[in-house]
Structure 1
Amino acid sequence: MTGASPKESEPVTTNGTIAMVNLHGQIDGLAVQLSRAGTGETPDAPLAVTQGAALIDLLNLRGHILGRVADYEQAADLAERLVRAAPEDSTALLARARTYATLHRFAEAVADLRAAGRSGADAAALDAERAVVLQALGCYTEAIALIRKAAQRQSDFTTFGALAVLQAERGEVTEATRLFDEARRHYQGTSPFPLAQLDFRRGVMWHREGDLDEASSWYNAARRRVPDYAPARGHLAEVELLRGAPQAALALLRPLTQTSDDPEYAAHLAATLHSVNRVHEAQQWREHAAARYDELVQCHPEAYADHAADFWLTVGDDADKGLEMALQNLTFRQTARSHALFQRAVLAQNRVAQAAP
């Protein structure tokens, strides 16, 4: 069951390229306002806190859309400064909780949500944020309950979308498809970003199910909304490589290595180049990705240990390091996916040991 096609009942939104220009402008404008208000230890609260929280959310959005870890780091740094300046402000605490969740620092995110609750944060907002953390930890039943509880204060699009993504992660494809369709039908905004993210996650669902045609269709739907959407381009490149179209994959990946500081794209480029026997160039990108993964695991182990493990088990070709990263990831999240990654790593290491003379 695939549900509606991407071109059926298309909501009308702002042109994606224009929206990206506007996003950059909003970020720059808020940064200037904050510098004038002061964002050190004594900002002009509550104005600076409100502006700072808005800037944090925009930085996290741009970080996701463009694949820029630097934006996530800037948002996290700003959140720390906001909470230092206003330690009992629920807006500041919620903003920092979101940055912690983005970098998979879930225990710290939960602590901030508790503190925000004590400081009078909106209960529905807290439930929605807690649901995000629980979902990431694989606690799907609890997450569903919180999403439905928060639904009383959220838009139908937000609620249906959150439930769709959660059911997709659970592998409940039929129910997820129905919810994705419902979310699209209930979208009333003009920004292309929420719909692009929704369509991307639908593509990921079909990608995991092995339906490359459906995955490609939804990744392209996300790219039509926002042409610069890095995750959609990167995943579409994976699909093209699986389809036996490495040149199409290369065309998608090369621009990403120039605009994104996420090593995932350099790693995929290395794999694609290797598939067409451009071994020297592939090795250069492999080394670039390896160095960047080492850096990110050092700075943000909770967020990148799993990606690094996958890299070392594939392009990186180092089963020992892959097992090390998979084990580290397992200490952070006891999810089915984390256990599967660890098992992959153990099997890879066993194969290497058996092949040794």
Structure 2
Amino acid sequence: MNVATNPVEAIRTTHATIALSHLDGQIDGLERFAAHGEMEDRAWVALVDLITLRAQILGRIADYERASLLAEQRAEVAPGDRLAFLCRARSRASLHRFAEAMTDLEHAAELGQTGREIEVDKAAVLQAVGRYAEALSIRRRIADDFGDFEAAAGLASLYADIGDTDAAEQWFDESRLRYRSVSPFALAQLEFQRGHMWMALDPEQARPWLLAAWQRLPCFAQAEGHLAEVEEALGDCNAAIARLERLAAESDDPDFAAELARVLWNAGRHSESARWRTYAEKRYDTLIAWAPAAFADHGARFWLSVGGEPGRALALARLNLEVRDTPKARRLFDAAMAACGSFATKGSA
């Protein structure tokens, strides 16, 4: 990427405040219809999708909880509705309940759900659990058949997960060329994925894309949180702390508090770090009890670093590896194993 080019200026989208207000309005309207029993089958899918989108953008765990509740209830009251199982599959996948999500997708297919929609969801689950060859076959077929933004973006995300940055960059560029919407959400998520791909490899490469995602959507909590990580890696600790303090105070996602505790500790601000560490620990305990698969990797990273309990980290890393056998999950498990070995060695010294 030419860093002199501002990605936000290159593709103009609706102002973030207007877009978020519209998203809230759509959700509120559908919630009212649902409360009065006036929802069509497709509208239930739309409602769960929109609430999940808001959860992803705002870093709002309560929205994940709401989407899960609605999806589970809909599948129970409409056991013959294929869209109910498609809806529940997406909700379960968002909480890393991948095996259950795939079962729901297979059931939706048995009930008659066909076409691109279910194939995309299958590819997403296969990709999430590390079955990359199968996911790639589906995503390539979709790209050949449709050739739109979503198809190109799917290939970009998959190549990023595989670690093929050259192919990923090609498809990230291609997907941007194919963007036809004025909504900022999908494009900001694409920019975030591109920045996230580069974080461990080259923070300088990651920064402009994470910054673009955040500038396009200043409410995009994950984009700003990862931008803070990159800023710390590049030596701007004060900027990172400022971002994380606001995010940790506003979000019910403990990842921001955990990251803030780590950065503060590294900066020598130990008493402040301890306060955020305590909050993150309590919050992770609550969330792991509710959705263990969804927060196993987050919790493992916390207890492996500033949480300071490698034994707890190892148990969660093992669970995460059981849920999805990916290179990232294996690296986390190996790090937890090494930390436990180092801890045991120190303890016996």
TM-score, normalised to structure 1, is: 0.93
Give the structure-2-normalised TM-score.
Answer: 0.95
Structure 2 counterpart of 1:349, from 322, 340, 344: 340
Report the CA distance shift for 1:5/1:88 in structure 2 as closer, same or farther (over 3 A).
farther
Q: Which secondary structure state, in structure 2, belongs to the residue aligned with residue 87 of structure 1? A: coil
Cα deviations by residue, 1:205-226 (Å, 9 ceiling, x for unpaired): 11121x1122110001101211
Query: Does structure 1 residue 49 correspond to structure 2 residue 41?
Result: yes
Query: Does 1:79 pair with 2:71?
Result: yes
Deviating more after overlay: 249-258 vs 303-312: 249-258
Which amino acid counterpart does residue 7 of structure 1 have in structure 2?
N
1:311-347 deviation per Cα after TM superposition (whole angstroms, max 9, x unaligned) = 1010101111111111222222222222211111111
* Pairing partner for 1:319 from 307, 310, 313: 310
Alpha-carbon spacing, 1:6–1:100, altered in 2? closer, same or farther (3 Å) = farther
| Closer, same or farther: CA 4–98 of 1 in aligned 2, 3 Å | farther
2:288, 2:296 within 8 Å by CA — same for their partners in 1? Answer: yes
Question: Once the 2 structures are TM-superposed, how far is the Cα of residue 50 of structure 1 from its aligned partner?
Answer: 2.5
Which residue of structure 1 lines up, in the alignment, with residue 125 of structure 2?
A: 133
Matched, 1:285 2:244: no
- Alpha-carbon distance between aligned partners in 2 of 1:145 and 1:5, rounded to the nearest angstrom: 36
What is the CA distance between 1:353 and its match in structure 2?
Answer: 1.4
1:27 corresponds to which residue?
27
Residues 265-309 of structure 1: CA distance to partner in whole angstroms, max 9, x if unpaired?
000111122223221121010011111111111111111111111
Contact kept, 8 Å, 1:79 with 1:99, in 2: the verdict is yes
| Contact map agreement 1:144 1:163 (CA 8 A) in 2 | yes
2:11 maps to 11
Matched residue, 2:82:
90
Kindly provide the CA deviation profile for residues 3-30 of structure 1, in whole angstroms up to 9, marking residues without a partner as x: 7876267222111121111111211121
Query: Structure 1 stretches of 5 or more lacking a match?
Result: 39-43
Equivalent in the alignment of 1:256: 247
Instruction: Quote the Cα distance in structure 1 between the aligned partners of 2:80 and 2:4.
Output: 47
Code of the residue aligned with 2:31 in structure 1: it is: A
Partner SS for 1:277: coil
Preserved contact between residue 6 and residue 221 of structure 1 (Cα < 8 Å): no
Q: 1:184 to 1:327 in 2, by over 3 A?
A: same
Judge conservation of contact 2:129–2:323 (CA < 8 Å) in 1: no
Q: Distance in 2 between matches of 1:5 and 1:20?
A: 28
Structure 1 runs, 4 residues or longer, greater than 6 Å off: none
CA contact (8 A) 2:3 2:208 kept: no
Among 258, 276, 289, the alignment partner of 1:298 is 289
Per-residue CA distance 1:15-67 (angstroms, 9 max, x = gap): 1121111111211121112112x2xxxxx5xx343222211000100000011
Alignment of 1:1-357 (within 5 A): 2=1, 7=6, 10-36=10-36, 38=37, 44=38, 47-151=39-143, 154=146, 156-209=148-201, 211-356=202-347, 357=349
CA distance in 2, matches of 1:4, 1:275: 29
Task: Say how many residue pairs are matched.
Answer: 347
Which residue in 2 is equivalent to 1:41?
none
The answer as to whether partners of 1:290 and 1:316 remain within 8 angstroms in 2 is yes
What SS does the corresponding residue of 1:353 show, helix, strand or coil? helix
What is the RMSD computed on CA atoms of the aligned residues? Answer: 1.6
Equivalent-residue separation in structure 2 for 1:154 and 1:68 (angstroms) = 33
Query: Aligned equivalents of 1:241 and 1:78: distance in 2?
Result: 39
State how far apart, in whole Å, the 1-side matches of 2:4 and 2:88 are: 37
